[in-house]
Structure 1
Amino acid sequence: MLPQSLRRALRASAVLLLAAAATLVPGAAATAAPAQAAAAGSGWNDFACKPTAAHPRPVVLVHGTFGNSVDNWLGLAPYLVKRGYCVFSLDYGQLPGVPFFHGLGPIAQSAEQLDAYVDRVLAATGAAEADLVGHSQGGMMPRHYLKFLGGADKVNALVGIAPDNHGTTLLGLTRLLPYFPGVGHLLNDKTPGLADQVAGSPFMTRLNAGGDTVPGVRYTVIATRYDEVVTPYRSQYLDGPDVTNVLIQDRCALDLSEHVAIGILDRIAFHEVANALDPARATPVSCASALS
């Protein structure tokens, strides 16, 4: 069992890094256009990018609850761009009058936003299919798109980092609040995106009825045993053909990442994402991947 002192230290580090990220891009996610402009300046959300033979599919990054298209991906997006991918990210689930913090609207409507965004990316890049990588809600919400909106015809792979595939508790979702100072008041307003994620909600029941997956899509789940938001962590796993479930501590027992850090900071998880996007060229993942 991880010592409580180490877990507190990890959480504190994650909060500081998230605060630093917000400082680096002040207000960048207040609207979609400024967010995309900031990202394009860092090498992603460049709609002139054309996929290569080595990486023929664009990658669409799907942020988590309270996240946005920039801050959630300050680590992973440049990591993938450096490796030759065309990388894009969207904002979804916006509430009126709530800038910066997204992923709070009805998840079925968020999936429609993803549908439109993938169409835009495919039209710009000329690719027939995209790969999706999502963190937290962003790893689960695309399953609605794949299952109910025809997304399976446009998507090759879905990689979920700490996804709440079978829901979580409202208490679990409130544990995100320390990482996003100033957002606590939102729990007192109407936030259907939170209600949809509660285990046993009508949305989660419909999403998982009849099986976790749809044919024609490869699924990868990357989880951490120290996840304090989606618990138990094994509830993140999917069951079905073409599914790979990964516990990051099986790759590196020293990895202390919890729910936020595994998506924002963890280069061991990033290496696992790269392997999931290109399994034919996969390389071993270990603690040393943190330095790659």
Structure 2
Amino acid sequence: MSRLLFHRKTAHFPRFSRSATRNLRKRIWTAILLLSALGGALAAVAPQAAAQPLSYRPIVFVHGFNSGPGVWSSMPTDGRLAYRFDYSNRTGPVGSVPSIEQLGKDLKEAIDKEHLLEKSPDGTIDIVAHSMGGLVARSYMKNEGGIEHVKHLVTLGTPNHGTVLAGLPPACSAQCKDMAPTSDFLRKLNGNRTDADETPKSRSHPGYPKYTTFRSNVGDEPVMYTNSRGTKTGLCDGVVFGVNANGAFDPIHAGDTPILRGAENTVTPCIAHSDYMTDTWTQQKTLDALTEPGDKFAPARGFTKCNDLSLAKGAGDWTQGWMQSCLETDTSHRVTPVIRVRGCGHWRTYISWWYYVPEGWGDNTKCNVNYLKATFTGPRGSQWITIPGASTDYMVSSRAFEVKLTNYQQTGPGRYSLENPQVGFYIWGWQDGGYNYARYESGRNVELDNSGLVTA
């Protein structure tokens, strides 16, 4: 044990003069005070930054195939933090590019890197995605746990069940192959094609995410058709088409591939695939879809409730168009009945030529909403809405538009309903034996409750 003892002889300590000792002590205390001050400053800054989350949920924008984040340059954000996921150098029709599933992983990494969930006041984000970007977002939600962190998903022209164009090239990139209706990626993403719901929900946030899809093709548009004005396409969106909501090919018609069963599926005006982000109507409806009454973490906005889009037909089916009855409220609790029209057009009898307004057998053809019967009920009572057949107040030179019946507005928080709406239109500028009228007689009731709406 003696070898382990401390021997005074073996310990050598340097000796300092008194002045050197005083200088050394002064330097040590100066260093301690400096470190203490610096540490205190860092401690004061870090908690302050962490204690100031955003007022509103961030919006994550995801661009589409062979595109880039610049497509969102004109998209309004309502003053919310917007993060544009950029994979523009890793997408294209040919070459070695990552799969859509890998891009979903990359999206998660980007969201984590930007600390968007930590910055969000409720720990969730909203996603707005165009075209293939919607598949990237859905892959992130399903395969990377994003479903627990997304409050609202809006897809714009997304080939949720594929597009016929992805199945045409003899050789295309991994992303192109993933968008083919028969791809393993879509089969796994969508599950059983007969499932009643394609919008899975979070375990930690019951009822969320909320899904909204926008498409500009109703679904029955002919890919190509011929009339007295030549051969042309009936497509609005000429990129995502030719597949129906069950993933089956339909190369003759537009198809409704962007639909998700269980989502709010909305048809926009007739716009091209690249115009969803710049169309004013679609921009505003997209922002509306990122919140709901009582939402404290998004700017106050109005919203719209509609019945199903239904096909209106005339005698002999010569005149056709899709119609929808809606109620729309703003943040001042003003509620307005709205009639939407999509795909308004007519056949030329006996020749079977099809025309979309404003084209027609006659010149300057217009679609005129001139028939409406419904009961509009609100907190202040009921009123009968009617548009007589002779009316030309709602005549439009377009195949897709909406009519706002502002003269029937009601104001105030509460429950509203549009009961048994019966709507119709006629083709102005074309007379062919009385076949230019179309009706839809048995519209489902529309109900809206704006009592929980946060006023602006």
Runs of 4+ in structure 1 over 6 Å off: 285-288
- Which residue of structure 2 lines up, in the alignment, with residue 35 of structure 1? none
Structure 2 gap ranges (5+)? 1-51, 202-207, 218-235, 242-253, 294-300, 304-327, 329-337, 341-400, 403-456
Q: Distance in 2 between matches of 1:237 and 1:244?
A: 9
- Out of 190-199 and 128-137, give the one that drifted further: 190-199
Q: Report the 3-state secondary structure (helix = DSSP H, G, I; strand = E; otherwise coil) of the residue aligned with 1:134.
A: strand
Cα 1:104–1:194 change in 2 (3 A) is: farther
Is 1:198 the counterpart of 2:180? The answer is: yes
Is 1:238 the counterpart of 2:260? The answer is: yes
Cα 1:121–1:68 change in 2 (3 A) is: farther
- Which residue of structure 2 lines up, in the alignment, with residue 125 of structure 1? 119
For 1:105-184, what aligned pairs fall within 5 Å after superposition? 105-119=98-112, 120-122=114-116, 125-127=119-121, 128-170=123-165
- Out of 203-212 and 218-227, give the one that drifted further: 203-212
Cα 1:266–1:103 change in 2 (3 A) is: farther
Greater RCO (Cα-Cα under 8 Å, separation 6 or more): 1
Cα 1:276–1:156 change in 2 (3 A) is: same
Residues 140 and 163, structure 1, Cα contact 8 Å, conserved in 2: yes
For 1:205-284, what aligned pairs fall within 5 Å after superposition? 205-210=187-192, 211=195, 212-215=198-201, 216-225=208-217, 226-231=236-241, 232-240=254-262, 243-249=263-269, 256-263=270-277, 265-280=278-293, 281-283=301-303, 284=328
Q: Report the 3-state secondary structure (helix = DSSP H, G, I; strand = E; otherwise coil) of the residue aligned with 1:160.
A: strand
Q: Distance in 1 between matches of 2:111 and 2:89?
A: 18
The alignment-based identity, stated in percent, is: 27
Give how far 1:104 is off: 5.0
Q: Distance in 2 between matches of 1:171 and 1:58?
A: 32
Which one has a larger percent helix, Structure 1 or Structure 2?
1
Structure 1 counterpart of 2:279, one-letter code: D
Q: Report the 3-state secondary structure (helix = DSSP H, G, I; strand = E; otherwise coil) of the residue aligned with 1:156.
A: strand
Is 1:68 the counterpart of 2:68? The answer is: yes
Q: Distance in 2 between matches of 1:218 and 1:103?
A: 34
Which one has a larger percent strand, Structure 1 or Structure 2?
2
Structure 2 counterpart of 1:218, one-letter code: K
What TM-score does the superposition give when structure 2 sets the normalisation length? 0.42
Q: Report the 3-state secondary structure (helix = DSSP H, G, I; strand = E; otherwise coil) of the residue aligned with 2:162.
A: coil
1:229-265 residue CA offsets vs partner (Å, 9 max, x unmatched)? 111351101002xx2110013xxxxxx31111123x2
For 1:4-83, what aligned pairs fall within 5 Å after superposition? 51-52=54-55, 56-69=56-69, 71-76=70-75, 79-80=76-77, 83=78
Structure 2 counterpart of 1:112, one-letter code: K
Structure 1 gap ranges (5+)? 1-48, 175-186, 250-255
Cα 1:104–1:221 change in 2 (3 A) is: farther
Residues 167 and 181, structure 2, Cα contact 8 Å, conserved in 1: no
Give how far 1:103 is off: 11
Q: Distance in 2 between matches of 1:59 and 1:173?
A: 34
Give how far 1:170 is off: 2.8
Q: Distance in 2 between matches of 1:259 and 1:86?
A: 26
Structure 1 counterpart of 2:268, one-letter code: I
Structure 2 counterpart of 1:195, one-letter code: K
**Aligned residue pairs, count:** 208
Q: Distance in 2 between matches of 1:268 and 1:279?
A: 18
Q: Distance in 2 between matches of 1:262 and 1:111?
A: 22
1:53-97 residue CA offsets vs partner (Å, 9 max, x unmatched)? xxx21000000001112x211111xx11xx22111101127439x
Give how far 1:144 is off: 1.3
1:157-178 residue CA offsets vs partner (Å, 9 max, x unmatched)? 100011110111236888xxxx
What TM-score does the superposition give when structure 1 sets the normalisation length? 0.63
Q: Report the 3-state secondary structure (helix = DSSP H, G, I; strand = E; otherwise coil) of the residue aligned with 1:236.
A: coil
Give how far 1:50 is off: 5.2
Q: Report the 3-state secondary structure (helix = DSSP H, G, I; strand = E; otherwise coil) of the residue aligned with 1:277.
A: coil
Q: Report the 3-state secondary structure (helix = DSSP H, G, I; strand = E; otherwise coil) of the residue aligned with 1:279.
A: coil
- Which residue of structure 1 lines up, in the alignment, with residue 79 of structure 2? 84
1:190-211 residue CA offsets vs partner (Å, 9 max, x unmatched)? 6211111111111111111145
